[in-house]
Chains A and B, each alone.
Chain A
């Protein structure tokens, strides 16, 4: 972004009323590889793109099981994400120990947000450089939350973060009204489609993505590679040569929209925390 004299530490306001360190932390989230989440009334699906640095290395873990009823996908500084996942696991298990029941997702998310806020108001700390998509189920239904480094959190029907996430958002914005009543299979299918959008023409295979599901009678778990590949094949989402056109999937009619071009963020210049 812009180098200026008010961005050295997080406890310095700019004259325009911004905390640049927090905004830079949110940039780090945008640089991470894409992760998306969507929810129906009964299920939440999280999916992420896992690119390995080289053919020789394994890819980074971006989706973590927090408890039987909660999972989280991260984008940004994965080390920060790992630490926060450990915190979330700890909170869940402590709650279970005291109350013999599942920590409501909304409460976990507030605790996470308050933890992130602390780092925006201490001169000896820095904000966490990771965005968290928290998906889970509790008594009040299925929930999907996005926690950002600023300490804000929002609930979503569907969300995407990381690089080229705008493409996935565009796809989901068209379809989100169908998600609430969607079946588990269709929800996963939509997740894979949305993930494909972020790849900009590259072939979607199960080796470069991770998909996880949690549902009413289904503990949070990551789907194994064979299952994911079978789903990709079944929905014929594998690949396209030209990024400009969208191949017409079976049940979508007349989508003539040119595909995955990243739209410039329309809210550039506005402090992201205000969104």
Chain B
């Protein structure tokens, strides 16, 4: 083998110290979804989320479906980095596909999917390369309702009502006061809309275009997008600069 002695050996950067390695690890989110809220009701689970995808402080994308079905028995709602949610949907697609390839009458229920997601999220967190999402997993199997949540650090739990992001601070107190286990579908939707309205007023990354999804033993439906009525004619909002001329 003839070595060309005229060309200098290329300077080799240590991969551990180089920026290439870091680009694979702890990220910052770019396009994000805001709160998702969900409750158990008489016949199953209701999940609500708006259709916004923010790019920092810009409300850039307004047609992002943040609630999706998983297999026959579950729905997933996600907030956080949208591209990571899309990746999670691909993992779930493969999971459900392999499950149905057994072709044996068994199927993964919401509890199993939730636990699988918990393992995925926690493992990524341990590698310092999280999927930047907070997820809600709800569903019904054989009459048993299930509602759980898991986030980017792997914290997971089940409850009768769960929320992500700002929903934790604004929606959950309302749900604690007003949730009961015999809510009808209409009552459940009203309750979720009440929470979504508060979020719309108070969360700067909320957009007024939402979907509410329902899952029962019979199957799931995800509503067409719609808007909430809002009320801005408050005295305090009129002539806001009356006490401070020149301000805006």
Contact = CB atoms under 8 A, between A and B. Distances in A.
Contacts of A110: 102, 104
A99 B109 CA distance: 9
Nearest to B142: A139
Given A97-B119, A98-B119, A140 B106 contact: yes
Contacts of B109: 101
Contact of B112 (A101, A106, A107, A140): A101
Interface of A: 97-101, 104, 106-107, 110, 138-140
B108 interface: yes
Contacts of B108: 99
Contact of B106 (A97, A98, A100, A104): A104
Interface of B: 102, 104-106, 108-109, 111-112, 114-116, 119, 142
B188 to A, nearest CB: 26
B115 A106 contact: no
Nearest to A106: B104
Given A99-B112, A100-B112, A107 B119 contact: no
B111 A106 contact: no
B115 A99 contact: yes
A104 B112 CA distance: 12
B106 A107 contact: yes
Contacts of B115: 98-101
B111 A140 contact: no
A178 B192 CA distance: 53
20 contacts: A97-B119, A98-B115, A98-B116, A98-B119, A99-B111, A99-B115, A100-B111, A100-B112, A100-B114, A100-B115, A101-B111, A101-B112, A104-B104, A104-B106, A106-B102, A106-B105, A106-B106, A107-B102, A107-B106, A138-B106
A106 B106 CA distance: 9
A128 to B, nearest CB: 23
Contact of A99 (B102, B104, B105, B116): B116
A98 B106 CA distance: 16
Nearest to A105: B106
Contact of B105 (A97, A98, A101, A140): A140
Contacts of B112: 99-101
Nearest to A109: B104
A158 to B, nearest CB: 22
A100 B117 CA distance: 11
Interface centre among B106, B109, B116, B142 (most CB of A within 10 A): B106
Nearest to B115: A100
Contacts of A100: 111-112, 114-115
B120 to A, nearest CB: 9
Nearest to A97: B119
B111 A139 contact: no
B189 to A, nearest CB: 30
Nearest to A138: B106
A71 to B, nearest CB: 19
Contacts of A101: 109, 111-112, 115
Contacts of A138: 106
A100 B116 CA distance: 8
A101 B144 CA distance: 14
A104 B107 CA distance: 10
Contacts of B142: 139
A97 B105 CA distance: 22
State the 6 A-B residue pairs at the shortest beta-carbon distance, nearest first: A100-B115, A99-B112, A104-B106, A106-B104, A99-B115, A101-B112
A107 B99 CA distance: 10
A92 B56 CA distance: 45
Contacts of A139: 106, 142
Contacts of A97: 119
A99 B111 CA distance: 7
